[in-house]
């Protein structure tokens, strides 16, 4: 292997050239490492941790994840059905609103259903509880921890969760639990402040409840996350209020475990050298444009940091389908593979087939066997079946 190719696979245990490009690949060893941290939190606190399918729904690895966690949380009937069919543990559901048809399906799928508003709770709660399904209400403590409004559940005018003023005259005694979600990629200090705000606004509603769900956005498996603080917060809350605490991180399960491997198809331009890849920002990693953020690439640096700088462009017709500017120690060539990092969560679940561009395959790498396995390949039928 040349030094150029060696640099592009720096830091990974799999061979980026082993499978047809493009493909997502999850390192099962890294996934297990994350799950061990989450199980430690459960063991030390008695809290129950759920996999949030909105962030990571790669059901081929559910046999691994369900050895560590108690269940899943869903944002739609389809996610709830996936959890029931492929996981089999606790299935929780929350959505900003439900239809009559949703409720009829959730009766067969869910163990917990959280409502966004008192109106929805009053409309559907009795029917669900008559079937043995526990019901909760999402509350908005109006406490902001997220800087970007697009991802802030407590931004002014947020439609997510019920504010204290909206509970005037509402009897909440029949609820089984309460739910809040204020975080996005945050450490446990943000949770501590949120819990304090939640108790100040809604503490009088907690007595008599079975559980309180702390929502998602907890970056528990990030290297600098203060796990001991989280353990203390959960322990103190459960001891104070006598309730079961749930956590439902999405990113923390798959954080740092996955990659997107793409191939250089062409190099164009004169004043700005632009690489055309067989992947796409808008179709395959949409948060690059929505967040926005700059994904990492193994063996690459910031513009001009290394001798050869390129702009990386996607395969679609969107003019702004640009991933960013990166520099490399050696010039890129057609056929080279690039390895984008941290591509397991909020990637596969948000992809599209815009322009009919093929969805990247999905693969796993197991360090115990040294094997890369293509779990699913997508083709024309996948594109066609989304249309009519």
Convert the pLDDT of each residue in 243-283 to its tens digit.
999 999 989 999 999 999 999 999 999 888 999 999 999 99
What distances in angstroms separate CA 375 from CA 25, 33, 283, 338, one per listed residue? 9, 21, 20, 20
- Does a cis peptide bond (omega within 30 degrees of 0) precede residue 22? yes
Q: What is the pLDDT of residue 7?
A: 44
Homologous superfamily of the 3-26+257-384 domain (CATH): Lyase, Ornithine Decarboxylase; Chain A, domain 1 (2.40.37.10)
Confidence class for position 139, pLDDT limits 50, 70, 90: very high
pLDDT tens digits along 58-95: 999 999 999 999 999 999 999 999 999 999 999 999 99
pLDDT exceeds cutoff 80 at 161 = yes
Q: What is the pLDDT of residue 291?
A: 87
CA angle 18, 281, 330 (to 5 degrees): 55
Percent of the chain residues past pLDDT 70, beyond the cut: 97
In whole angstroms, what is the distance from residue 97 CA to residue 244 CA?
25
Flag the least confident range among 2-16, 159-173, 231-245, 345-359: 2-16
Per-residue DSSP letters for 261-307? EEEEEEEE-SSS-EEEESS-HHHH-THHHHTT----BTT-BSTTTSS
Quote the tokens at residue 49: 């941790």
Q: What is the pLDDT of residue 321?
A: 98
Inter-residue contact 323 to 283 (CB < 8 Å): no
Label the pairing between strands 322-328 and 308-313.
antiparallel
In whole angstroms, what is the distance from residue 331 CA to residue 172 CA?
64
Q: What is the pLDDT of residue 2?
A: 47
CATH 3.30.70.360 fits domain 46-254: no
Inter-residue contact 16 to 311 (CB < 8 Å): no
pLDDT exceeds cutoff 70 at 8 = no
Q: What is the pLDDT of residue 10?
A: 57
CATH topology match: 3-26+257-384 vs 46-254: no
Task: Give 92's Cβ-side CA count (13 Å radius).
Answer: 30
Q: Which residue has the tokens 């498996």?
A: 221
Q: What is the pLDDT of residue 6?
A: 53
In whole angstroms, what is the distance from residue 257 CA to residue 28 CA?
7
pLDDT tens digits along 333-362: 999 999 999 999 999 999 999 999 999 999
Q: What is the mean pLDDT of residues 224-247?
A: 98
Q: What is the mean pLDDT of residues 134-147?
A: 96
In whole angstroms, what is the distance from residue 232 CA to residue 331 CA?
51
Percent of the chain residues past pLDDT 90, beyond the cut: 94
Confidence class for position 12, pLDDT limits 50, 70, 90: confident
pLDDT exceeds cutoff 50 at 197 = yes
DSSP state of 349: G
What distances in angstroms separate CA 302 from CA 9, 101, 250, 339, 350, one per listed residue? 17, 50, 29, 15, 26
- Domains of the chain, by residue range, sit at 3-26+257-384, 46-254
Q: What is the pLDDT of residue 5?
A: 56
Average per-residue pLDDT for the chain: 95
């Amino acid at each position: 292997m040349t030094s150029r190719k060696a640099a592009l696979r720096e830091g990974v245990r799999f061979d980026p050239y082993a499978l047809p490009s493009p493909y997502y690949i999850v390192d099962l060893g890294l996934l297990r490492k994350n799950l061990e941290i989450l199980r430690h939190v459960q063991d030390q606190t008695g809290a129950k941790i759920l996999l949030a399918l909105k962030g990571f729904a790669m059901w081929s690895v559910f046999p691994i994840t369900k050895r560590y966690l108690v269940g899943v949380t869903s944002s739609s009937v389809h996610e709830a059905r996936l959890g029931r069919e492929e996981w089999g543990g606790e299935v929780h559901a929350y959505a900003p609103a439900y239809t009559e048809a949703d409720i009829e399906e959730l009766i067969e799928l869910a163990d917990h259903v959280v409502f966004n508003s008192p109106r929805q709770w009053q409309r559907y709660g009795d029917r669900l509880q008559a079937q043995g399904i526990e019901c909760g209400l999402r509350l908005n403590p109006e406490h902001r921890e997220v800087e970007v409004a697009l991802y802030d559940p407590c931004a002014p005018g947020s439609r997510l969760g019920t504010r204290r003023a909206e509970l005037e005259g509402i009897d909440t005694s029949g609820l089984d639990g309460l739910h809040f979600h204020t975080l996005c990629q945050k450490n446990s200090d943000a949770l501590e402040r949120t819990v304090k705000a939640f108790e100040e606004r809604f503490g009088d509603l907690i007595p008599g409840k079975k559980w309180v769900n702390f929502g998602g956005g907890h970056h528990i498996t990030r290297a600098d996350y203060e796990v001991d603080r989280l353990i203390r917060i959960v322990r103190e809350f459960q001891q104070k209020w006598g309730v079961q605490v749930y956590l439902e991180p999405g990113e923390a399960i798959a954080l740092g475990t996955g990659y997107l491997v793409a191939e250089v198809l062409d190099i164009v331009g004169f004043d700005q050298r632009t690489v055309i890849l067989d992947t796409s920002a808008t179709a395959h990693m949409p948060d690059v444009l929505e967040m926005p953020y700059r994904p990492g690439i193994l063996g690459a640096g910031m513009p001009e940091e290394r001798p050869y700088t390129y702009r990386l462009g996607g395969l679609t017709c969107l003019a702004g389908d640009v991933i960013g500017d990166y520099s490399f120690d050696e010039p890129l060539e057609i056929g080279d593979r690039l390895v984008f990092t941290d591509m397991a969560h909020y990637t596969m679940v948000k992809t599209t087939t815009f322009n009919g561009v093929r969805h990247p395959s999905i693969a796993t790498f197991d360090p115990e066997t040294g094997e890369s396995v293509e779990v699913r390949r997508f083709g024309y039928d996948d594109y066609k079946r989304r249309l009519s």
